[in-house]
Amino acid sequence: MQADTVIARRRTADGRRRAFLIRLPSTVSHLPSTAWVGIALVVLLALVAAFASQIAPGNPFRSVAPPLQPPSTAHWLGSDDLGREVFSELVHGARVSLFVGLAVALTSTVVGIVIGGVAGFFGGWIDDALMRLTEFFQVLPRFFLAIIVTAFFGGNIVNIVLLLGFTFWTGTARLLRAQVLSLRAREFVVAARAVGVKELTILARHVFPNALPPVLVNGALQVGGAILTEAGLSFLGLGDRNQISWGYMLNNAQPFIRSAWWMSVFPGVALLITVVAVNLVGDGLNEAMNPRYSVASRRSPVVRSHPLISI
Amino acid sequence: MSRYILRRLIQAVPLLIGILIINFVLIHVAPGDPIYLLAGDAGDEKYYAAMRARFGLDQPLAMQLYLYLVNAAQGQFGYSYAYDRPVFEIIFARLPATLLLTGSALVLSTLVAVWLGVVAARRAHSAADHTIAVVTLLFYGMPAFWLGQLLVIVFAIWLDWFPVQGMTDVRHSYQGLEYASDVLRHLALPMTTLGLLHLALVTRLTRMGMREQLDEDYVRTAHAKGLPVARVVNYHALRNALLPVVTTVGTQIGTLFTGAVLTEIIFAWPGIGRLLYDATLARDYPLLMAIFLFVAVSVVVVNLVTDLTYAFLDPRVRFA
């Protein structure tokens, strides 16, 4: 049996259960082992975030210990200047980081898909204009923009997600545009057009489904950057004041850096593990389905040069 | 070449105008009367009336935008609340400290990263290669401000090798060489912080480039005619492998500024990042906007310089 097949049992039309060999999508079987480490860590973090109230019951903003206690059996990771448990803050902080990371990646992927798709599909001056816009957003220093906007309008978490989502999309847009352009020249698209399928149907049924996987992987690669950016904003005191986040904890730790190392070490480790984990997943997926080999290189030169087919 | 330079210069103009327009929009959607963002908050009624006329705040929006651009072209961007001076004067006073920090970090991290990349490529899939990959990945995932705090705890507080904060020792007023060595001692930790964060990308790119180049025919030819290995690797292959590195180093300048801001805050380094932090605490909006504008324009200019350097190094670009 090949490495990328698994046995599955399914009910056939006549009602009997039979064993089938199913080929996994090649991405899954080609995932490097580091990506599985990343996936395990992300799942663990997601569980911590989901069950934060069970793992560390009570409001993390509440003082439950004497201030600035070093790690002990009573308070595992010590307490901060206001007597809040670092462990409890850490567990609840996972929610903000994961939420921001995923929500920003999702938003930026949607924006990128719309802009890249429209540019690639319509071409011409629309393409030109959208690509100039993309270049513009690429040079825009988004962290500085985020600082100004959160300073003006307050850093509630929805603002931060929208702001980052609407500045992180440039890579996705460029990638999708390139994918659409290259797919549109492939034989099966040309064949579909030749038998009279409508352009929009071609786009929806033939081009998008093939163009999307690498774009989604690109979205996964945005998660780490988004988490770090939110942490940076919170560290500057511009994050959401109603939520415990790791950046906010590090901001609190800065004045006590001489006396209470535990206040800065643990939230930083948490951030590091999270970012490395999501980067491992993103890198692994990227490697497993490298679009340079899957789409662009298979583009047939015949189609492009044949005047009869490339209408 | 001159035609290429001209074309790239012309392409940068819409980017600059776009950045100014974003700034203009921010001034108008920000809470409060835009006059305070343009003229500071320390003036009297007569002064405000004059500034209103200068920026045309009673005119239609399109006219205001035009006046804003005209003023920008003359270097007039408004006054800081906190310092009560033109914002650009304040920024330029802080520029040398930031340039020293980012410049030294960039040079140091690029040199180390290229070296690591070459080592990793020559011993691909060895223990050294994997170690380099893991360590640089770890630094890549670290928040700048946290790495800074860690280095302070270990090297400044526990080991007491370097000062915790600042750019100079305020208890002494050193001159000449002593001053330079004092600054250098203060520079060590922030420079290392910023440099370590930027190792990963250049290391990876160099490794990739070197792997490709070392497989090329001309490298085999060089080996075959008996050149020393070091010369083939460091002279022939590396020169070609470094081409993409130039572009990456250039495009990273925005990220570098971001890292610099956070690093400067940790180490109380008196540069633009520290200024930005003080401006957010004081809600000094005109200064905030000016810093944004300054960084955005710097990124455009650095990108332009990078492209031109690249074209200079690789003739295929300028004749394309």
Question: Which of B150, B262, B296 faces A235 most closely, judged by CB atoms?
Answer: B262
Euclidean distance between the first and the last CA atom of chain B, given in angstroms as a whole number? 11
Query: What pLDDT does residue A293 have?
Result: 38
Mean pLDDT of B294-316: 82
Beta strands A5-11 and A17-23 are: antiparallel
Mean pLDDT of B167-184: 78
Look at residue B64 and tell me whether its pLDDT is greater than 70: yes
Of the candidate ranges A126-130, A258-262, A271-275, B280-284, the one whose mean pLDDT is the lowest: B280-284
CA dist B194 and B253 (Å) reads 12
Is the CB of residue B145 less than 8 Å from the CB of residue B263? yes
Please tell me which residue, A306 or A181, carries the higher pLDDT value.
A181
Please tell me which residue, B289 or A27, carries the higher pLDDT value.
B289
Q: Is the ipTM of this complex over 0.85?
A: no
pTM of the model: 0.82
A235 in reach of chain B (CB within 8 A): yes
Is the CB of residue B2 less than 8 Å from the CB of residue B46? no
Query: What pLDDT does residue A20 have?
Result: 60
Q: Which residue has the tokens 């786009």?
A: A203
Look at residue B299 and tell me whether its pLDDT is greater than 60: yes
For the stretch B200-247, pLDDT in tens is: 888 888 888 888 888 888 888 888 888 888 888 888 888 888 887 887
A143 in reach of chain B (CB within 8 A): yes
Pairs across A and B, CB distance < 8 A:
120
- Taking CA atoms, what residue in A is nearest to B160? A258
A275 in reach of chain B (CB within 8 A): yes
Phi, psi for A299 (deg, rounded to 5): -60, 125
CA dist A145 and B89 (Å) reads 21
For the stretch A82-117, pLDDT in tens is: 778 888 888 888 988 899 999 999 999 999 999 998
Of the candidate ranges A24-28, A87-91, A268-272, B33-37, the one whose mean pLDDT is the lowest: A24-28
3-state secondary structure of A2: coil
Query: What pLDDT does residue B11 have?
Result: 81
Query: What pLDDT does residue A10 have?
Result: 65
Q: Which residue has the tokens 């000449």?
A: B176
- Taking CA atoms, what residue in B is nearest to A268? B146
Please tell me which residue, B64 or A101, carries the higher pLDDT value.
A101
Query: What pLDDT does residue A13 have?
Result: 64
For the stretch B244-277, pLDDT in tens is: 788 777 777 777 888 888 888 888 888 888 888 8
DSSP β-bridge partners for residue A19:
A9
Please tell me which residue, A273 or B73, carries the higher pLDDT value.
A273
Own/partner pairs, A207-214, CB within 8 angstroms, 24+ separation: A207/A121, A207/A180, A207/A183, A208/A117, A210/A179, A210/A183, A210/A295, A211/A176, A211/A179, A211/A180, A211/A183, A211/A295, A212/A113, A212/A176, A213/A27, A213/A289, A214/A175, A214/A179, A214/A286, A214/A289, A214/A291, A214/A294, A214/A295
Residue B229 C-alpha, separation from nearest chain A C-alpha, in angstroms: 31
Query: What pLDDT does residue A310 have?
Result: 25
A286 in reach of chain B (CB within 8 A): no
- Taking CA atoms, what residue in A is nearest to B257? A141
